[in-house]
């Protein structure tokens, strides 16, 4: 039996949060560097998300969630990236587009990341473990 299968959801949530913090730093660092290089905010947001999602999948699929016997790396990554693009890229892009007049660009990016992270736990669990709850 897989040792990870015995890990409670609360432990998975804690690990997901740790990965999420690192993921956020990667996303923000990439976003900030690209904005400083005069990339448009939405392009920088997309590229920062892309770098972060690859890191997130690599770590979450090995450390946070358990892989089933029928785990298919390519299929799981496709589900992870598609659900992530709808949730985290969608929420951060909407925030970066609409919120800067109210909050400033970087605060808007953080709002989008936080909303996306909450929803992304369930999407990651679905894409890697093939279940939500």
Domains of the chain by residue range: 3-129
Percent of the chain as helix, strand, coil, to the nearest 5: 85, 0, 15
Is pLDDT at 5 greater than 60 in this prediction? no
DSSP string, 19-50: HHHHHHHHHHHHHHHHHHTT--HHHHHHHHHH
User: pLDDT per residue over 7-36, tens digit each?
Assistant: 788 998 999 999 999 999 999 999 999 999
Band the pLDDT of 6: cuts 50, 70, 90. Answer: low
What does the alpha-carbon distance between residue 29 and residue 26 come to, in Å, rounded to a whole number?
5
User: Looking at the whole model, is its pTM more than 0.85?
Assistant: no
């Amino acid at each position: 039996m897989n040792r990870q299968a015995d890990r409670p959801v609360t432990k998975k949530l804690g690990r997901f949060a740790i990965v999420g913090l690192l993921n956020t730093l990667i996303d923000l660092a990439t976003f900030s560097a690209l904005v400083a290089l005069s990339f448009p905010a939405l392009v920088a947001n997309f590229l920062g998300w892309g770098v972060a999602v690859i890191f997130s999948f690599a770590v979450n699929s090995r450390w946070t969630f358990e892989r089933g016997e029928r785990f298919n790396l390519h299929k799981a990554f496709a589900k992870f990236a598609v659900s992530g693009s709808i949730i985290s890229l969608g929420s951060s892009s909407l925030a970066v587009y609409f919120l800067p007049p109210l909050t400033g660009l970087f605060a808007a990016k953080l709002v989008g990341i936080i909303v996306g992270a909450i929803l992304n736990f369930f999407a990651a669990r679905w894409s890697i473990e093939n279940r939500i709850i």
